[in-house]
Amino acid sequence: MPRFLTLADVCEQLQISTAQAYALVRSGELKAIQVGGRGQWRVEEVKLEEYIQESYAKTERMVAEQHASRPTHS
């Protein structure tokens, strides 16, 4: 398996649009590098995995906060 993925590969794995992938990269949420004369984006496999794990953690925190803010019924 290659070390680096194209943004098309990232789109396929995350099942998102090209625009969404560019937005993640440009915001810095998903770490990537630009290579070659045309500045094509590449994402290291490990960075994609880190992004996915962080997304799971964010979701868990969000769900926990929503659950904690709900009134309890006695």
First CA to last CA distance, the chain = 55
pLDDT band at 74 (very low <50, low <70, confident <90, very high): low
- Residue pLDDT, tens place only, 12-68: 999 999 999 999 999 999 999 999 999 999 999 999 999 999 999 999 999 998 888
Provide the pLDDT for residue 32.
98
Look-up of token digits 């070390």:
3
Provide the pLDDT for residue 71.
75
Q: 4: helix, coil or strand?
A: strand
Domain boundaries of the chain, sorted by first residue: 4-69
Question: Containing H/E element for 45?
Answer: helix 45-69
